Amino acid sequence: MIESQHTEFKRNWRDDYLKWIAGFANAEGGRLLLGIADDGNVVGLENAERLLEDIPNKVRDTLGIVVDVNLKRSHNLCFIEVVVEPYPYPVSYKGEYHYRTGSTKQELKGAALDRFLLQKQGLHWDGVPVPRLTVNQLNTTTIQLFKQRALTSSPS
């Protein structure tokens, strides 16, 4: 086993890993495997049974989503698989938005966050209304120039 876009290994549980779960939910989904070393070998978890209850509750309470948490065994060692489905709406961790790309978790900020939030709503920047803008405030010369460029640059 290796880490990938859809798989992350952690030796144990820390509440900080809720960011990874949010990242999977905001991307294509994935699996967080606890009790697995970075090299993919099972190292086991001592508190696996307690985590079976704690993790789903923390995910629900902090992220507002539901994940599957499964107890697995390999060579008499317990490990946990947290299965995260992709969500159609943005999932935040304490106001932060994370995204899984490659084998990394990225915090989205600035233009990347704007693009992500619009995409999750099925919008594009040019379809978002500008509050309190009236028709009289529009520059007709600029609009005509935009239309001309759009006509000449679009494939027929």
CATH code for the domain of 19:
3.30.950.30
What pLDDT, on the 0 to 100 scale, is given for residue 68? 98
Q: Which amino acid is at 39?
A: D
139 is a domain residue? no
Q: Are the CB atoms for 79 and 44 separated by under 8 Å?
A: yes
Number of domains the chain is built from: 1
What pLDDT, on the 0 to 100 scale, is given for residue 123? 80
Q: Are the CB atoms for 72 and 81 separated by under 8 Å?
A: yes
Over range 111-137, report the average pLDDT: 86
Per-residue pLDDT at 114 exceeds 70? yes
131 is a domain residue? no
135 is a domain residue? no
What pLDDT, on the 0 to 100 scale, is given for residue 134? 86
146 is a domain residue? no
Alpha-carbon dihedral angle through residues 6, 11, 14, 20, given to the nearest 10 degrees: -10
Over range 51-55, report the average pLDDT: 97
Over range 34-48, report the average pLDDT: 95
pLDDT, greater one: 59 or 134: 59
What pLDDT, on the 0 to 100 scale, is given for residue 129? 78
102 is a domain residue? yes
Per-residue pLDDT at 93 exceeds 70? yes
Per-residue pLDDT at 88 exceeds 90? yes
Q: How confident is the model at residue 147 (pLDDT cuts 50, 70, 90)?
A: confident
Q: Are the CB atoms for 45 and 78 separated by under 8 Å?
A: yes
141 is a domain residue? no
144 is a domain residue? no
What range defines the domain where residue 59 resides?
7-125
149 is a domain residue? no
Over range 84-90, report the average pLDDT: 97
Q: How confident is the model at residue 155 (pLDDT cuts 50, 70, 90)?
A: low
Indicate the average pLDDT of the chain. 93
Per-residue pLDDT at 156 exceeds 60? no
Over range 26-41, report the average pLDDT: 97
